[in-house]
């Protein structure tokens, strides 16, 4: 089936793009498994650099898994499902490109971004809300409580890839409790659910800045 370029499709797509918001308070309603699978299917149709198709998706929706995630991301109360995205670093093309070359090293991050965009927009088209989240240590509840000495020793452990000794760390949770093998590199996560509060684009602020975008001209680099 070809999508007609006539009609209102372009306008509807633009409205969908503009109306999607990152939601941080959800109402606890569960998303049916088939909807989650179709969201992941949308991700698999995103382009990937060199057609590497290196991304893998982990669905977390059991009560205990969700409560573990909320420990790391306390503001995601009431979410239904988390999808974590991993890059398979063991594929021949991954090994060739991602370890060696300065620019190609970034490709999995770009691929992840494209997959995420497909996911959150497709989800929104089904009335499902989402929030992409990064997994920086800054967000680990436990990380905030660590002493300087512990932080230094943890840094050494991280550098030496000894996550299995770092309880309370998201990498520890993934590798040990969820048994995620080392060749799968964690890229990003997305929380899905149904909003309890939907951010108002006209007033909401995040990161010290209004989430409302400027008009398009503002973002264009004009040359003299």
Q: Out of 25, 70, 132, 186, which residue is the one contacting ligand FMN (CB under 6 A)?
A: 132
Hey, what's the torsion of the CAs at 88, 92, 95, 97, to 10 degrees? -100
Distance separating alpha carbons of residues 200 and 206, to the nearest angstrom: 12
- Binding residues for ligand FMN, total number by CB under 6 A: 11
**Residue 25 found at the interface with ligand FMN (CB under 6 A):** no
CA distance 182 to 185: 7
Is residue 161 part of the contact set for ligand FMN (CB under 6 A)? no
Per DSSP, the residues of 170-219 read HHHIIIIIS---TTEEEEEEEEEE-BSSPPPTTT-EETTEESSPPPGGGG
Residue 133 to residue 142: CA distance in whole angstroms: 18
Q: Binding string to ligand FMN for residues 185 to 224, with x set by CB under 6 A, is what?
A: ---x----------x------x----x-------------
Q: Using CB under 6 A, which of 50, 105, 134, 150 touches ligand FMN?
A: 134
Q: How far is the CB of 212 from ligand FMN (least distance, A)?
A: 9
DSSP state of 167: T
**In angstroms, what is the minimal distance from the CB of 34 to ligand FMN?**
25
Residue 133 is a binding residue for ligand FMN (CB under 6 A): yes
- Of 42-50, 97-105, 132-140, 152-160: span binding ligand FMN (CB under 6 A): 132-140
Regarding 98 and contact with ligand FMN (CB under 6 A), the answer is no
Tally Cβ neighbours within 10 Å of residue 184: 20
- On whether the CB atoms of residues 82 and 31 are closer than 8 A, the answer is no
Segment contacting ligand FMN by CB under 6 A, of 18-26, 42-50, 83-91, 165-173: 18-26
Nearest to ligand FMN of 134, 161 (CB atom): 134
CB within 8 Å of 213: residues ≥ 6 apart: none
DSSP 5: S
Looking at beta carbons only, is 113 or 168 nearer to ligand FMN? 113
Binding site for ligand FMN (CB under 6 A): 21-22, 24, 131-134, 188, 199, 206, 211
């Amino acid at each position: 089936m070809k999508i007609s370029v006539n009609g209102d499709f372009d306008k509807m797509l633009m409205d969908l793009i503009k109306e999607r918001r990152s939601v941080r308070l959800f109402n606890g309603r569960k998303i049916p498994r088939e909807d989650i699978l179709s969201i992941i299917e949308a991700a698999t149709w995103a382009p990937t650099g060199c057609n590497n198709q290196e991304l893998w998706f982990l669905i977390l929706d059991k009560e205990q898994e969700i409560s573990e995630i909320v420990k790391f991301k306390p503001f995601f109360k009431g979410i239904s499902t988390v999808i974590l995205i991993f890059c398979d670093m063991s594929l021949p093309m991954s090994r060739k490109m991602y370890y060696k070359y300065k620019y190609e090293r970034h490709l999995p991050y770009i691929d992840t971004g494209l997959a995420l965009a497909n996911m959150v927009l497709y989800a929104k088209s089904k009335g499902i809300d989402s929030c992409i989240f990064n997994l920086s240590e800054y967000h680990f509840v436990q990380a905030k409580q660590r002493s300087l000495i512990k932080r230094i020793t943890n840094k050494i452990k991280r550098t030496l890839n000894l996550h299995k000794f770092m309880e309370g760390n998201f990498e520890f949770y993934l590798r040990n409790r969820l048994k995620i093998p080392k060749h799968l590199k964690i890229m990003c996560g997305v929380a899905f659910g149904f909003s309890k509060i939907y951010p108002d684009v006209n007033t909401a602020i995040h990161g010290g800045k209004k989430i409302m975008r400027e008009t398009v001209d503002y973002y264009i680099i004009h040359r003299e």
